[in-house]
Amino acid sequence: MIVVKQRVFPLANPDNYDKDLSFIKGINMSRLFLVNRVQDYIQSKIVYYLMNINVHSHSIYLCRHGESNHNMDGRIGVDSELSPRGKQFAHALRGFIEEHQLSDLKVWTSQLRITIQTATELGVPYEQWKILNEIDAVSTPTSNLPRFEMIGITGLI
């Protein structure tokens, strides 16, 4: 378990009584490390991991892409263009980013057009991740696409 900002802890002292113990101590939010008696591969990997962990808090914003033309028809599972309302949504999302002054924002998208079109409107760099693609979204033939109501989803459009 990693404890962040612990106020009271026993001091590890390798010069006196802890000289035979293996340990790593992060000091001042891990700006300085005290490493003692690292003796094998696993211990060195743990030290490497702990020295590279980022203990600062971060905000994560999750967002679905803007409405697509196929969403307007109640169809799902196809890579379509953004609808006019989808473009309005992307523009409003850009306003949210500007209003909240989100600096160093990292935007990840799938490789679908609708996500890329939404991200492009934000005016910030974005990165495409194949793993974020919807399952079979592009490979499903349009004529066989289910409608929202066919799978019991109502009130989205």
DSSP the chain: ---SS-S--PPP-TTTT-TT--EEEEETTTTEEEEE---SHHHHHHHHHHHH---S-------PPPPBHHHHTTB-SS--PBPHHHHHHHHHHHHHHHHTT-TT--EEE-SSHHHHHHHHHHTS-EEE-GGGSPTTTTTS-GGGPPBGGGGT--S--
- What digits encode the pLDDT tens for the residues 16-49? 667 778 888 888 777 788 888 898 888 888 888 8
Average pLDDT taken over every residue of the chain: 76
Which are the contacts of 2, defined by CB distance < 8 A and separation ≥ 6? Answer: 50, 53, 55
Q: Are residues 45 and 109 part of one domain?
A: no
- What digits encode the pLDDT tens for the residues 106-126? 898 889 899 999 999 999 999
Query: Looking at residue 2, what is its pLDDT?
Result: 52
User: What values do phi and psi take at 11, rounded to 5?
Assistant: -75, 130
Q: Are residues 80 and 39 part of one domain?
A: no
Domain of residue 96, residue span: 69-151
Q: pTM score, two decimals?
A: 0.54
Q: Are residues 95 and 50 part of one domain?
A: no
Q: Are residues 89 and 135 part of one domain?
A: yes
Length of the chain: 157
- From the centroid of its chain, how far is CA 134? 16
Q: Are residues 82 and 11 part of one domain?
A: no
Q: What is the CATH number of the domain that holds 135?
A: 3.40.50.1240
- Model confidence at 146: pLDDT above 80: no
Query: Looking at residue 6, what is its pLDDT?
Result: 52
How many domains are there within the chain? 2
Which are the contacts of 136, defined by CB distance < 8 A and separation ≥ 6? Answer: 77
Instruction: Average the pLDDT over 135-156 and give the result.
Output: 47
Query: Looking at residue 88, what is its pLDDT?
Result: 94
Instruction: Average the pLDDT over 86-101 and give the result.
Output: 93
